[in-house]
Amino acid sequence: MRDRRWMVAAALSYVIGLAVLVVGPWGWELNRLTVRIYTLFRYDWRLTPDGIGPEHYGIALNVLLFVPLGAVLAALTRRPVLTLLVCLACSAFVEVSQARWLQREGGWTDIVANTVGALVGVALVSLATRARRRPAPR
In this predicted model, what pLDDT tens digit does every residue of 18-58 receive, in sequence order?
Answer: 888 888 888 889 999 999 999 999 999 999 999 999 999 99
SS3 117: helix
> How far is it, in rounded angstroms, from Cα 83 to Cα 35?
31
Q: Compute the radius of gyration of the chain from its Cα atoms.
A: 17
Say yes or no to pLDDT of 130 above 90: no
Tell me what pLDDT residue 1 has.
Answer: 59
Q: What is the pTM of this model?
A: 0.88
DSSP letter for each residue of 43-96 = IIS--SPTT--HHHHHHHHHHHHHHHHHHHHHHHH--HHHHHHHHHHHHHHHHH
Tell me what pLDDT residue 45 has.
Answer: 94
> How far is it, in rounded angstroms, from Cα 86 to Cα 99?
20
Distances (CA, A) of 121 to 14, 71, 97, 98: 14, 4, 24, 24
What is the per-residue pLDDT across 61-111, written as a single tens digit (0 to 9) for each? 999 999 999 999 999 999 999 999 999 999 999 889 888 888 788 889 999
